[in-house]
Structure 1
Amino acid sequence: MELTYKNSKTIDSEQLKNLYNDVGWTAYTKDIELLQQALLQSLEVVSAWDDHNLVGLIRIVGDGLTIIYIQDILVLNEYQNKGIASQLIQDVMSRYESVRQKVLLTEEAPDVRHFYEKQGFQSCDKGDLVSFAKLN
């Protein structure tokens, strides 16, 4: 499988809808125009493509100098466990290597925790940090 990685904030709405719905993130697809606008206002969006099919995406927000926040990272179910998410994260981490704070918020699950720890992230329930979120 030969994938292409693109750095672009403009992605077809049907491709986005398919990816987000496939991984169960339907809250994003209730207003696909809002999602597309969110991508446009992000610091960076890197996507993975199998031919003309969107199979993965990472979306970064922040200032790119002192903090980046990984807002979204998702891969189509049939493409998971093939190193795509790792490649997307490694690409972003190398590009923002000098940024001190690299943050993400995700749901708790053993495989999710293992994946992010393998990528060098430390859970805020371990160590000296605390994390707070207010979701509507």
Structure 2
Amino acid sequence: MPPATEGTVVGPEMPALQETLDLYGAVGWGAYTDEPATLMRALAGSARVVTARRDGRLLGLARVIGDGATIVYLQDVLVHPDARRSGVGRRLVDAAFAPFADVRQQVLLTDAEPGQRAFYESLGFTEVHDHEPELRSFVRQ
């Protein structure tokens, strides 16, 4: 398989249901795939959805939610295990945020998986407890 960035096309697109379920399943996000209609409704309601494809195969997806004027959230970034650590994730995040460069608050809430911090810091994000001036973050589940 060639490097994931070679021949990979990244851009705005709403992927089909089955390939979306396959991608979410491949990265272990089963909570999303348990309710396919809800997942597709979430994607459709996003401010922006971008995908990464090579030879027509869905390799990754990122989506942004928010008002597009004062705040946007990077909600999901998925890269198929076959394409990880190849630049696809960075390209997805850059493409997802491209129309929102002037939005003051670009926010991300993610799991504390190994490697997450280094990846998101390399994209210019700062963990909330490290931010100056001091910020607070709250979550209710």
Q: Which runs of 5+ in 1 are unaligned?
A: none
The answer to whether the aligner puts 1:69 opposite 2:43 as a matched pair is: no
Shift of 1:83: 0.2
Q: Which runs of 5+ in 2 are unaligned?
A: 1-5
Q: Counterpart of 1:2?
A: 7
Q: Counterpart of 1:94?
A: 98
Task: Letter of the 1:27 partner, please give it.
Answer: A
2:50 to 36, 46, 49: 46
Runs of 4+ in 1 over 3 A off after TM superposition: none
TM-score (norm 2): 0.90
2:123 to 107, 119, 130: 119
Alignment: residue pair count: 134
Q: Counterpart of 1:20?
A: 24
Shift of 1:126: 1.2
TM-score (norm 1): 0.93
Q: Counterpart of 2:113?
A: 109
Compare relative contact order (CA 8 Å, sep 6+) and give the higher one, 1 or 2. Answer: 2
Per-residue CA deviation, residues 78-132 of structure 1 (Å, 9 max, x unaligned), is 1000000101112233321100000010111341000001100000121211111
Give the Cα separation in 2 of the matches to 1:97 and 1:108: 26
Shift of 1:8: 2.0
CA-atom RMSD in angstroms: 1.1
Task: Letter of the 2:38 partner, please give it.
Answer: L
Shift of 1:53: 1.1
Task: Letter of the 1:101 partner, please give it.
Answer: Q
Q: Counterpart of 1:129?
A: 135
Give the Cα separation in 2 of the matches to 1:73 and 1:79: 13
